[in-house]
Structure 1
Amino acid sequence: MSDIATPYVAGKPALKKSAEELRAQIPGWGADLNPGDRPSYPREQPGIETGAHWDFPERQPEKWPRERSVEHAFLTPVFGTSTPPAGVSGAIRKYAYKYSEGRAAHWLLLIAADRVDAWEHHLRSLATLRPDNPVTETGVLSEFSAHGARSRFGQKRADVNHQWIDPFIVGGPWVLAGLGAVAAVRALRKHRTA
């Protein structure tokens, strides 16, 4: 593994170009070369133990094909396993990793996948006997029981600027889903009577 330049090895890899070559090629490169400019400098001094007891960390087993960044030669040694990609949101996440992490498309697709995942869970909860309860789960009742208005005004809070739109963003989709359900029931009744 020593021939692979990677951040996952215990030792620091050597530079392929000298500091002067990099500074001439990349504007601003080496701004932190002066140890006094780096808050982590005392821990970087030679002779201080880092605590690493490995040359390369033990790899976590991969139970399903994971998303892989195009910037890295292989999957990171440790990764999250709590929520494997599933459904439409999982497909969007997998597609996002076709782009470099330096491109906006990568991150915008991941954000879109999070929104799609939220909607998938909302729809799944509506199909159960105990659907989500937006009134209690959003904490809107605490606005009336925990001095919500008094905590907002005269406090110079930044979130007061967008408060007016919060009910539309949080409650709007639920109202639209309810109206859609009513329209679907009416359409079924009309279709049966015709």
Structure 2
Amino acid sequence: MSDTETGAAQQHTAPYAAHKAAPKESAQELRERIPGWGADLDPADRPSHPKEQPGIATGAHWEFPDRQQQNVPREMSIEHGILPPVFGTSAPLHGISGAIRKYAYSYGEGRAAHWLLLMAADRVDAGVHHVRSLATLRPDNPVTETGVLSEIRLGRHRRQGRVDAHHSWLDPLLVAGPWVLAGLAALAALRALRRGL
């Protein structure tokens, strides 16, 4: 097999190497047909061209700012070599959601797994806070805090033209469903405990 044939075979098996069809019109034909086409193809015609060359004094100067002290480990994208000089510390990683977030940063920001894991961590964090609220004197109230009563009292759910009116019948299931399931699970646990005793 010749070098040309080997290169052609590799081109067809290489990932993301889509076949590029030859243009239907030449650059000259496009310039004649479309006013201004290809105006920036020649680097000498670009206004930014001199600035693109290394070693040209532009007058710009910048020094790396003092770095913020890192008291606890912070998650960092694998695309970046170091943390930025300043970063947020208001929401440190904690618990199961923190472990999920830390794992999410083992994937690049261009991967769906990165963002799906971060969303899952948010849902876990919300669930933990809901459960924790049950141990307080003022637990979460899913009926009043979601505005369901206001929707019914003011009749806004029946207004024409609202996009969310099409799925408003599903809202009570989404709001109350997790609470009902949690109640049933607690009831099943109590029954199992009673049987064991």
1:73 to partner: Cα distance: 1.4
Alignment partners' CA distance in 1, 2:178 and 2:126: 12
Q: Tell me if 1:153 matches 2:159.
A: yes
- In structure 2, what is the equivalent of residue 189 of structure 1? 194
1:99 aligns with 2:104: no
Identity %: 67
| Cα separation, partners in 2 of 1:118 and 1:53, compared to 1, 3 Å | farther
Distance 1:121 1:110, change over 3 A: same
The answer to whether 1:79 aligns with 2:94 is no
Q: In the alignment, which of 39, 59, 84 is matched to residue 67 of structure 2? A: 59
**Given residue 160 of structure 1, which amino acid in structure 2 is its aligned partner?**
A
CA distance in 1, matches of 2:132, 2:106: 28
Which stretch of the first structure deviates more once superposed, 90-99 or 174-183?
Answer: 174-183
CA distance in 1, matches of 2:98, 2:184: 29
Moved over 4 A (4+): none
C-alpha deviation, 1:122, in angstroms: 1.4
Q: What residue ranges of structure 2 are gaps of 5+ in the alignment? A: 1-38, 41-59
* Letter paired with 1:163: S
- Residue 54 of structure 1: how far off its partner (Å): 5.4
Aligned to 1:168: 173
CA distance in 1 between counterparts of 2:89 and 2:70 reads 9
Report how many aligned residue pairs link the two structures. 140
In structure 1, list runs of 5 or more residues that go unmatched. Answer: 1-32, 35-51
TM-score by structure 1 length?
0.64
Equivalent AA in structure 1 for residue 162 of structure 2 = R
Q: Distance in 2 between matches of 1:76 and 1:85?
A: 18
- Structure possessing the higher relative contact order (Cα contacts under 8 Å, 6 or more residues apart): 1
Which residue number in structure 1 is paired with residue 116 of structure 2?
108
Could you tell me how far 1:53 is from its partner in structure 2? 9.4
In the alignment, which residue of structure 1 is the partner of 2:184?
Answer: 179
> What secondary structure sits across from 1:141 in the alignment?
helix
